[in-house]
């Protein structure tokens, strides 16, 4: 199965990054979103990333121009009618993802692979709304996509070996490191990371230590590049809460119960860096 053209649905932080690494690997990319301004913002981020690469000598101006020329922004998903792969990179909400998968299933040709960049939701449940569950797979990229090497590849219940191998090959072509993960809530990355972040929030909630001091302990004591609360702000507190809820519901274990302080911040609209305020002010 050769993948030459890909559809990326969602031009936000993750989707624009995925479009960039696909284009850098030589794929033609249809970047789709519901509003032109979302697409413009996504292309601006990609252009900024590539310009930084040129400044640092990692790319030439010609290479930058060639990558951008392979990315085709559009509000019409039908422009990807001849793609061999589609990747959904929308918000972490099951109903939104299912709706996108129904559309991709209609638009893409028979035999095309449908992938999701979900960070925690069940691949098997998403696949069930399509007419091709055997061609549905998880491709969980890490943020920021152009920089981070890891891609968790998650098989659904029906995913074929051929599809897995095609996605594994593509991941290597993008100079990423694929890791095979089974379809469990949170996969590996967020099953380990999010409870740590949640516990750090509990430390603040219970008055064990300040936000700054919790982060300092993990940076200096555990050699983490950034503290868990800073990381939560970068990920988005709404995303952290959504993943904790998936873990709590999926495993039914109280150890995954989201901290009340996390819920309060999300209800207040303090979602982290993207809104200017989370555990820190930006």
The pLDDT of residue 57: 97
HSE-up (13 A, CA, CB side) for residue 41 = 12
Domain ranges of the chain: 5-181, 190-272
Give the catalytic positions in this structure: 119, 140, 152, 190
**104 annotated ligand-binding residue:** no
Question: What CATH number was assigned to the domain covering residues 190-272?
Answer: 1.10.1040.10
**236 annotated ligand-binding residue:** no
First-to-last CA distance in the chain?
45
Q: Which CATH number fits domain 5-181: 3.40.50.720, 3.40.50.280, 3.40.50.1820, 3.60.20.10?
A: 3.40.50.720
pTM for the whole structure: 0.92
**207 annotated ligand-binding residue:** no
Q: What is the pLDDT of residues 10-47, one digit of tens each?
A: 999 999 999 999 999 999 999 999 999 999 999 999 99
Asked whether the predicted pLDDT for residue 1 surpasses 90, the reply is no
- Average confidence score pLDDT of the chain: 97
Reported as a pLDDT band with limits 50, 70 and 90, residue 6 is very high
Q: What is the pLDDT of residues 66-77, one digit of tens each?
A: 999 999 999 999
């Amino acid at each position: 199965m050769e993948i030459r053209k890909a559809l990326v649905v969602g031009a936000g932080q993750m989707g624009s990054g995925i479009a960039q690494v696909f284009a850098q690997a030589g794929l033609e990319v249809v970047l789709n979103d519901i509003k032109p301004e979302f697409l413009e913002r996504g292309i601006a981020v990609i252009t900024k990333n590539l310009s930084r690469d040129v400044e640092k000598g990692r790319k030439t101006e010609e290479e930058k121009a060639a990558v951008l020329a392979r990315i085709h922004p559009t509000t019409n998903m039908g422009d990807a009618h001849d793609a061999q792969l589609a990747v959904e990179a929308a918000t972490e909400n099951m109903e939104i993802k299912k709706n996108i998968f129904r559309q991709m299933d209609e638009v893409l040709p028979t035999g095309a692979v449908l992938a999701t960049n979900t960070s925690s939701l069940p691949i098997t449940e998403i696949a069930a709304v399509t007419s091709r569950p055997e061609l549905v797979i998880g491709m969980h990229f890490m943020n920021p996509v152009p920089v981070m090497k890891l891609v968790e590849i998650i098989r659904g219940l029906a995913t074929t070996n051929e599809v897995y191998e095609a996605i594994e090959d593509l991941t290597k072509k993008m100079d990423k490191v694929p890791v095979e993960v089974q379809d469990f809530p949170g996969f590996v990355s967020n099953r380990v990371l999010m409870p740590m972040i949640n516990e750090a929030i509990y430390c603040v909630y219970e008055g064990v230590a300040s936000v700054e001091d919790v982060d300092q302990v993990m940076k200096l004591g555990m050699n983490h590049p950034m503290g868990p609360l800073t990381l939560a702000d970068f990920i988005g507190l709404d995303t952290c809460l959504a993943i904790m809820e998936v873990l709590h519901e999926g495993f039914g274990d109280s150890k995954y119960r989201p901290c009340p302080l996390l819920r309060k911040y999300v209800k207040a609209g303090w979602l982290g860096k993207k809104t200017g305020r989370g555990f820190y002010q930006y």
